Structure 1
Amino acid sequence: MMETTVHVQLANKEQRYDRQLRLWGDHGQCTLELAHVCIIHASATGTELLKNLVLPGVGAFTIVDDKTVTGADVGNNFFLTSDSIGKNRAQAALELIKELNGDVSGSYIDKSVEELLEREPDFFHHFSVVVATQLPERPLLRLAEELWNCQIPLLICRTYGILGYLRLVVPEHAVVESHPDNTLDDLRLDKPFPRLAALLSEGASRLRLADHQEHSHIPWLIIIAEFLRRWRVQHSGKLPSSYKEKDAFRKLIKEGMWKDGTSAHRTEENFEEAIRHAALAVMPTQVPPEVEKLFSDDCCENANANSTNFWICLHALKGFVENEGNGILPVRGSLPDMIAESASYLALQAVYRDKAMEDIAAVRKRVADFLLQMGRPADAISEQEIRLFCKNAAFLRLVRCRSLAVEYDPKTVSRDFLGNEESVSEDLGLYLMLRSVDRFFLQHGRFPGEHVENIEPDVLLLHAEASSLLQEWDLPTSPPQNMLVEFCRCAVSELHPVAAFVGGAGAQEVIKLLTKQFVPIDNTVLYNAVTQSAVTVRL
């Protein structure tokens, strides 16, 4: 009876999370369900982001917020009602958010970030990711430093009138499953391993039989391999590389299509498939530049007992490439579908699969030997993790962010982003305003335009703060007047459409960080709600 109940629960979970399971798989969902996320402030931006974490089933969340609900909160936050006014904002929002998914555990802390950092600095050390929404500069910098030292990712999400802002702050984030678009199949036709070479030779012999021999059952992979052999004989062993050469190679395959008793060409689907796949199938097999760069990283070359699993696996992978792999990565082991008789296709599939398993075993041995050498258990890194690493070896990615302290220091500010123009670009202007309103807050205890009837004095005060920043950045220009007026006019308001966009985008980034799948932003996104445009910049 209990076993039946478990099966029903698993079936219900698969049905509920069907779409996302297709994106990040069972292991990604499991990682998500084990995570504990901290959300600072149950603002409109914070609750929109939290909604998009609770629905896919994040394990647990904690809201940190000492503010009480006001009428303005009720006006722009779907998770607050008029009955919430006067209550703690986190407590009030929690009641409705938890209704979205009964599998998710939620709690709140009625304290400010400043108080927690002062009295319980290790409070934030136990979270998988911390998300700071609508947090002023001073506590934000303190929080960022605390999390940076603990290697805990911080995602800053902010909505300020027309501006949406996302900033990822993490020393290092390694991605094994980056899920790139338009990946090439790992066929190795230019560098076939022994068993593949033997199978291709056998298939080519069948292909070269008399013209009247039916060969429509031969997989297109073998067809391309045979005509690639002929091409290389005629071109000093070189692969077709230019567009002109690849077009000539396709014509060579087309000319080899089986002819019947008449002079007319007979269309054969496997030859048509070979022609369609020809250009990509003959791409040279090599280690991608991004992975080569990782191999030369100090963390790879000097991997040690304290290294993360990523760097230990990468160190072993580099050793494999330099030795067993003969200069190339482990075989991925997958094979695209193709028109062919089952026996021929399954034989090809088995060759690639077996070679992939052989390569995984070689990398696994290198990982185990290294772990033992470092005084750690040989199985400290699971076989499943090594298998996943080898399968995605060509798509490994690494994101390293600059700390917020470095970004805010005029001596180390990003010159690539600031440039040296005599006028402020739109993107720089948005960033300038964001930094300027924070400085305004530090000076006056409120944001420009807030709680005032006439914004003109605040426009002048904000102009002074922005001009001071531009001077620190050594930019010979003036702040844009239209942005000064707009940021004073919006008076730190959270427009719900902007909050919904930032919250949705922020939740995606959190899920990337938790599942270690897909590549997160590097490292800042600025969103202009007026022009409906977003730009990624590295600060």
Structure 2
Amino acid sequence: MGVEVDNKEPAVELTEAETELYDRQIRLWGLESQKRLRTAKILISGLNGLGAEVTKNIILSGVNSVTLHDIQVVTEEDFCSQFLAARESLGKNRAKASLERARALNPMVDISADTQPLEEKAAEFFGTFDVVLIIGQSNNELLRIDAICQELGVKFFAGDVWGMFGFYFASLQRHSYVEDVVKFKEVEAKPNQKAKFEKYAVPVQREVNYPAYSAWIDFDANAAGYQRQLKKDGPGVILLGVLQKFRTVHKRDPSYKSREADIGLLKAIRDELAPKSALSDNSLEVLFSQISPAVAVVGGVVAQEIIKVVTRMEAPHRNLFIFDPDTCAGYVQVIGG
């Protein structure tokens, strides 16, 4: 539903250096949007390849601050896609190892590292951010953090990449944004000529309710309605459920070190959750490590959506994004009311 546009600008002014640095972005999405970015505080938890890709894009956009959170150390597997951690950082904490290159991307953004486990974080910690992105966590932990963000009015994203498969879920509560509605008006034409029309855009403020992260967990992928959609988009939601259950049960992700055994475990979970699904054996064989092309696509989309949320320009995707390894294409699945 369209309502009157709120034209109140953020109470912040860009410096001359910031205006020069972000000139191209200001031309793209406007000064007001850039000011909103300038005040935004972002938490990115999970500095694997996906976390590094989102971090890069968010820092370059010109936010106020980015907190990089991780308790894991850099491994050889990270070098498949994690470009912020240098080779000599092997064995060091991933968040700390990513600081130097992250800060070099944009000295005007305040960037810090946090290594305390998420489960030890109180609600007040998450309340200091405008947007929280959590990568690499179990459903139970994602549900806990989303519930905190719901209570505090903080925008929440969950995302991950396994091999060539990736996803993100947006839990934005009641989100308002401005959308340009295209209209046409008649312009004066010369005598005996057909009427002419020119196109113009009218900014309209809209509001949309986004369901909580629990909505996709409660989603019945075997229901008839989804089965019809499945024929069009593929069994991405089922694959996500399989991978999250693997993580919950085995306290880890599928690994190359135990590839054949893990494929067998994945098949068993698939057959338990959705025995009649179209999820093929081949789809379960490309879920190891994080492959750079998939990370680039999913990370680019996640960063784009975070920027949309902060600037309140255009409608963020609603609400589950899937990157399908079989088609190498992404699509959006609407989950919940």
Length-normalised TM-score, structure 1: 0.55
Indicate if the aligned counterparts of 2:80 and 2:290 stay in contact, CA closer than 8 A.
no
Q: What is the match of residue 195 of structure 2? A: 275
Going from structure 1 to structure 2, the CA distance change for 1:530 and 1:407 (only over 3 Å counts) comes to: closer
Going from structure 1 to structure 2, the CA distance change for 1:112 and 1:466 (only over 3 Å counts) comes to: same
Q: How does 1:363-442 map to 2 (within 5 A)?
A: 392=203, 395-409=204-218, 415=223, 418-419=226-227, 425=231, 427-442=233-248
Q: 2:63 aligns with which of 58, 63, 66?
A: 58
* C-alpha separation in 2, matches of 1:39 and 1:462: 28
Matched, 1:152 2:148: no
1:479 deviates by: 5.3
1:106 deviates by: 0.6
SS of equivalent to 2:62? coil
* C-alpha separation in 2, matches of 1:426 and 1:276: 41
Q: How does 1:406-485 map to 2 (within 5 A)?
A: 406-409=215-218, 415=223, 418-419=226-227, 425=231, 427-452=233-258, 455=260, 457-470=261-274, 477-478=276-277, 480-483=279-282
Q: What is the match of residue 179 of structure 2? A: 178
RMSD: 2.8
* C-alpha separation in 2, matches of 1:15 and 1:97: 20
Task: Identify unmatched segments of 5+ residues in structure 2.
Answer: 1-12
* C-alpha separation in 2, matches of 1:45 and 1:95: 18
What do the CA deviations read for 1:109-165 (whole angstroms, capped 9, x no partner)?
10222222xxx2321011010112232322112112221222211122221112121
Indicate if the aligned counterparts of 1:407 and 1:414 stay in contact, CA closer than 8 A.
no
Indicate if the aligned counterparts of 2:165 and 2:287 stay in contact, CA closer than 8 A.
no
Between Structure 1 and Structure 2, the one with more helix by share is: 1
SS of equivalent to 1:165? strand
Q: What is the match of residue 83 of structure 1? A: 88
Q: What is the match of residue 123 of structure 1? A: 125
Q: Kindly tell me the number of residue pairs found equivalent between the two proteins.
A: 323
* C-alpha separation in 1, matches of 2:27 and 2:294: 29
Question: Which has the greater radius of gyration?
Answer: 1
Task: Identify unmatched segments of 5+ residues in structure 1.
Answer: 1-6, 190-219, 224-252, 258-270, 282-334, 337-390, 472-476
Q: Which amino acid aligns with 1:521?
A: H
Indicate if the aligned counterparts of 1:169 and 1:401 stay in contact, CA closer than 8 A.
yes
* C-alpha separation in 2, matches of 1:104 and 1:534: 30
What do the CA deviations read for 1:76-134 (whole angstroms, capped 9, x no partner)?
21111121112111011011111111110011110222222xxx232101101011223
Going from structure 1 to structure 2, the CA distance change for 1:74 and 1:461 (only over 3 Å counts) comes to: closer
Q: How does 1:1-20 map to 2 (within 5 A)?
A: 10=16, 12-20=17-25
What do the CA deviations read for 1:354-393 (whole angstroms, capped 9, x no partner)?
xxxxxxxxxxxxxxxxxxxxxxxxxxxxxxxxxxxxx62x
Q: What is the match of residue 6 of structure 2? A: none
SS of equivalent to 1:527? strand
* C-alpha separation in 2, matches of 1:168 and 1:21: 26
Indicate if the aligned counterparts of 1:417 and 1:537 stay in contact, CA closer than 8 A.
no
Going from structure 1 to structure 2, the CA distance change for 1:442 and 1:86 (only over 3 Å counts) comes to: same
Percent of aligned pairs with the same amino acid: 25
1:449 deviates by: 4.5
Going from structure 1 to structure 2, the CA distance change for 1:20 and 1:490 (only over 3 Å counts) comes to: same
1:417 deviates by: 5.8
Going from structure 1 to structure 2, the CA distance change for 1:25 and 1:420 (only over 3 Å counts) comes to: closer
Q: What is the match of residue 105 of structure 1? A: 110
* C-alpha separation in 1, matches of 2:80 and 2:247: 24
Q: What is the match of residue 138 of structure 1? A: 140
1:418 deviates by: 1.9
Q: Which amino acid aligns with 1:129?
A: V
* C-alpha separation in 2, matches of 1:478 and 1:528: 15
Q: 2:291 aligns with which of 490, 495, 499?
A: 495
* C-alpha separation in 1, matches of 2:325 and 2:228: 26
Between Structure 1 and Structure 2, the one with more strand by share is: 2
Length-normalised TM-score, structure 2: 0.86
Going from structure 1 to structure 2, the CA distance change for 1:397 and 1:77 (only over 3 Å counts) comes to: same
Indicate if the aligned counterparts of 1:159 and 1:498 stay in contact, CA closer than 8 A.
yes
Matched, 1:525 2:321: yes
SS of equivalent to 2:61? coil
Going from structure 1 to structure 2, the CA distance change for 1:144 and 1:450 (only over 3 Å counts) comes to: farther
Matched, 1:114 2:119: yes
SS of equivalent to 1:69? coil
Matched, 1:504 2:300: yes
Q: 1:34 aligns with which of 28, 31, 39?
A: 39
1:15 deviates by: 3.1
Indicate if the aligned counterparts of 1:449 and 1:490 stay in contact, CA closer than 8 A.
no
